Structure 1
Amino acid sequence: MAVHKFNSKTVESFLILKSYCEEESFAGWDPYDGLNSKIFSATPLKNWDLARLAWIQGFKRSPINFRKLLLVPKEHNAMGIGLFLSGYCNLLEIARKGVNDFGTIQEIENQTRELADLLIQMKTTGYSGACWGYNFDWQARRLFLFPAYTPTVVATTFCASALVRAYELTGEKRYLEEGLSSCEFVKNDLNRTPYQNGHIFSYSPFNGNNTVFNASLKGAKLLSLGYHYTKNQEYKDLAKSAVNAAISAQAADGSWVYGMLPVQSWIDSFHTGFNLDALEFYKKYTGDQGVQKAIDKGFDFYLNHFFLKDGTPKYYHNKTYPIDIHCPGQLLVTLSTLGKTQENKVLAEKVLSWTIENMQDKKGYFYYQLKKGISSKISYMRWSNAFMFHAMTCYFKDIN
C-alpha cells in the first residue's frame, strides 16, 4: 500500500462525512429551498414576490429547521451532485495510487459512474447544450424569480467540469460529450453585457442578471476547458473577453467586489477564490500567460485578508462573521487549483483543523454558518456537505 501523509483526525472527519452523505443518497435540504414547501405552494402567497422573498430568507436565516414541519422534501441538487462527482474523481485518482483509506478502486469508480449518470439525467433540456439549475424556485431580491431547474452558469460549470473530469478518469466518452456541449449553452444562451474591454456573462438566460464577476468568470472557465478539447477559437475568444472584463474590475490591491451594482460592492472570501480558480483554468487551458499578474495579486490579497492566525476563516476582507462553510472549503480548492497546497500546507491544515473542530457535527455533516449570536447548524447537502466533500478530497489529492 502507498505511503501517505494524511492526518488521522482529518481522515476520520472525512470518512464520517462520506458515510453521512452516502447514507442520505446525496440528497438533502438547501439554504434556498423554502419555496419547495408544500404548505407555502398551496397558498396564494406563492404569487406575491415579497412573500416569496420573505419565505426564502426566513428559511435561510433561521437557526431552527422548519423544513420537516412545512413539508420541504430532501432532494438531489445538480450542483451538489457535480461537487460530489468531482470529489469522487479525486478519490479515484488517490485510490489508483495505492491508497485505500477511502475505498477500493472498484468501489470508488462505481460510485463515480453512478453520480455521472445521475448528473446527466438531471440536466435541463431545451437549450443549446447540456445545462443545469437548482431544484427549487428562487427569488433574487424583487427583480427575478428563477423557476426550478432554470439553468445557471454557476451550476452548469460545476456540473460540466465534473463530467469532463469523470471522462478523464473513466474514459467514458459520453461524459466528455455532455460536458463539452455545455460550452454551447454559455456561447448561445447566456447574455453578454459589454464592460471595459470585454463582457460579462449573465448568470442565467434571463435578461438583467448580468453584473456578477465570479459568475461570468465561470463561463470563461468552462469555455477554456472546451477550447482545450475542441480547439474552437470562438470559445477561447469569448473566454478571453470575459477574463478581460474581470481583470479590468480588479482593484490595485488585487481584490474584486462581488458585482457592479451598488448593493454588490462587498469583497468576500469564497467568491474571490472562485475568481482565482477561473483565471487559473483560463491560463492553463488556453495558454494565455498574460493573466498571471492578476492571479498573483488576487492570491496575495486572498491569503492576507481572509484567514486569521489561528486558522479562523473570515467571510469579508474587513469582517469575520458570519463564517460560512464555503470560506474554509474554497481555500482548499483554490490552493489545489493554483498548485499552492504544499507551500501553504500549514495554513491549509490550520484552517481545516479549525473547521472540523468548530463546524462539523458529530453525525458527520458540516454546519452552514457560524455567527456571533445563534448560528445555523442545519445540514445542507449542496452548500455545506458537497462543498466540503470536494474541498477535502482536493486537499487529500495534493497531500498524498
Structure 2
Amino acid sequence: MSQVNDFFNSFEQLADFCSKEEYKGYDPYDSLNSKLFQSIPLLSKSRIAKLAWTQFFKRAPMNLRPLVGVPKEFNPKALGLFLTSYCNLYEIDPQTHYLEKINFFGDKILDLQTKGWSGSCWGYNFDWQARAFFQPKYTPTVVATTFIACGLLDAFAITERKEFYAAARSACDFVLKDLYRTYDDKGDFSFSYSPLDKSVVFNASLLGARLLSRVYSISGEKELIEEAKKAVNFACGYQKENGAWSYGTLPFHHWIDNFHTGYNLECLSDYARYSGDHSFDSYMEKGFDYYINTFFTDEGISKYYNNSTFPVDIHAPTQLLITLDKLGQFDKHKEMAVKVMQWTIANMQSPKGYFYYQINKHFTSRIPYMRWAQAWMFLSFTVLFKKESSFYNKKHS
C-alpha cells in the first residue's frame, strides 16, 4: 500500500471513530467525574484521595471508567483542536461538509465558555487534582483558552463570523487581567496556568503570549504585543545552555519532555510571525536543534523524555508535525516526519480507528482518549495533508 493510501486510510478510520463517538470521550484526568467517587464524601473532599484516584485511572492499562460512572463528554480543548483541523481540511478542499463542521465546533465552543471572568475563557470538563494545584470543573486555563481561541481565529478567517473573532479578542482580556504573574528582576513575567494558581509553567505562559501576538496581528493593539514580549523574554531566560526547557520551576516540574518542548517552539515561532519581532529566533533555533536531535529515534519512535523513551505517548508524535510546520522545517525533516507517522500508525492505531494512549515497557494503554489522543492525531493528519497535498485523497467526499 502506498504512503498516500496508508495515511489517508488511517485518517479516515480515525475520522469515522470520532464522528461515531460524536466527538465526546474520556480523558486521562477525568476520573474525578466518577459518580461513585463523588458519592463518598470522605474521598471526594480529600486532596490525597483525589490525587491518588486521578493517578490510578491515568496509569491503569485498562479503562475502568465505565465501572465507576465516568461519562463520555465534550472537552472544550478537544473541540478547539477539531475546529482547527477542519479549517485545515477546508483550506485543502473547500467542501460544504467541512464548513458545516467548522460552524458546528465553533458554535459548541462558544456555548461552553466559562462565565465570570474578564474575558472569554475555557477549561476542562472535570475536576482536576494535580500536585501543584486543584482545578474545579471548567476552571479556565491559559492552555485550553489559547488553543480554543486560535481555533476560533482559524474559523473566523474562513467564515468571517464576527462572533468568532470577538471571543478570541475577549480571551486576551482573560489572559491579561485574570492570570497571576510571576516577575523576574528585569520586569518580565510568566503567566500562571490558571487564575487559581501561581505556578510557572513555560509552555502555558508562552501559549498566552502566542494568543496575544496573534490577536495583535489583527487588532494592532500595542498592549497585547508589549505584554506578550515580556512573557517570551521571561521564558527564554530559563532556556538551558543545550537548548532545553524544563516543564516549570517547581521542584517536581524539572523534567524535560517532548511535546511541551514542541509547544514552546511553536509559540516562539508564532510570536515572531505575528509580531514581526525576530529577536528571540536564536532561542527558537537552539531549542529546535535540541528537540529534533533528542526526542526521536532512527526507527521513528517518539521519546517521551529527554533521557527515556518510555512511555511512548501519542501526544509526542502528533506534536512533531505541528512543530515542523510552525517552524518551516517540514521539507528538511520530511523523511523523519513520514517515518514517525508510519511507526505511530503501525503501532498505536486500533483496528477500530482510534489511537492508543501510551506504550509502556510492559503494557500498552489502549484507552481511546478523545482530547489527548484522537483530537491531536486528527490535527496532526490535517497538518500533514496541508504540507504534502499528495497524501490527501482528492476522491474523498
Asked if residue 220 in structure 1 is aligned to residue 209 in structure 2, the reply is yes
Which among 385, 388, 394 is matched to residue 396 of structure 1? 385
SS for the counterpart of 2:51 is helix
CA distance in 2, matches of 1:227, 1:252: 31
Equivalent in the alignment of 1:260:
249
1:119-177 alpha-carbon deviations (Å, 9 max, x no partner)? 11011011111100000001112x52210000000000010000000000111111111
Asked if residue 204 in structure 1 is aligned to residue 194 in structure 2, the reply is yes
Asked if residue 140 in structure 1 is aligned to residue 137 in structure 2, the reply is no
SS for the counterpart of 1:193 is strand
The question of whether the paired residues in 1 share the 8 Å contact of 2:83 and 2:102 is answered with yes
The CA deviation at 1:6 is 6.4
Asked if residue 304 in structure 1 is aligned to residue 299 in structure 2, the reply is no
SS for the counterpart of 2:365 is coil
Asked if residue 26 in structure 1 is aligned to residue 23 in structure 2, the reply is yes
The question of whether the paired residues in 2 share the 8 Å contact of 1:80 and 1:382 is answered with yes
Q: Percent identity?
A: 48
CA distance in 2, matches of 1:282, 1:6: 34
Asked if residue 178 in structure 1 is aligned to residue 176 in structure 2, the reply is no
* Structure 1 runs, 4 residues or longer, greater than 2 Å off: none
Change (3 A) 1:128 1:319: same
Equivalent in the alignment of 1:167:
156
Equivalent in the alignment of 2:59:
61
SS for the counterpart of 1:372 is coil
Note the 1:371-390 alignment, pairs <5 A: 371-390=360-379
1:304-350 alpha-carbon deviations (Å, 9 max, x no partner)? 00000111110111110111111100001111111221221100000
1:184-207 alpha-carbon deviations (Å, 9 max, x no partner)? 100000011013531110000013
Write the letter of the residue equivalent to 2:135: F
CA distance in 2, matches of 1:140, 1:319: 22
Write the letter of the residue equivalent to 2:146: T
Which among 351, 361, 385 is matched to residue 340 of structure 2? 351
Which among 86, 89, 92 is matched to residue 88 of structure 1? 86
SS for the counterpart of 2:301 is coil
Write the letter of the residue equivalent to 1:166: A
Change (3 A) 1:80 1:217: same
The question of whether the paired residues in 2 share the 8 Å contact of 1:196 and 1:245 is answered with no
The CA deviation at 1:299 is 0.6
Which among 251, 268, 272 is matched to residue 283 of structure 1? 272
Which among 340, 350, 353 is matched to residue 361 of structure 1? 350
Equivalent in the alignment of 1:72:
70
SS for the counterpart of 1:310 is coil
SS for the counterpart of 1:388 is helix
The CA deviation at 1:61 is 0.4
How many residue pairs align between the two structures? 386
Equivalent in the alignment of 2:261:
272
The CA deviation at 1:262 is 1.9
Gaps of 5+ in 1: 97-104
Write the letter of the residue equivalent to 2:126: F
Gaps of 5+ in 2: 390-397
SS for the counterpart of 1:200 is strand
Which among 6, 9, 12 is matched to residue 12 of structure 1? 9
TM-score between both structures, scaled by the size of structure 1: 0.95
CA distance in 1, matches of 2:185, 2:316: 29
The question of whether the paired residues in 2 share the 8 Å contact of 1:35 and 1:56 is answered with yes
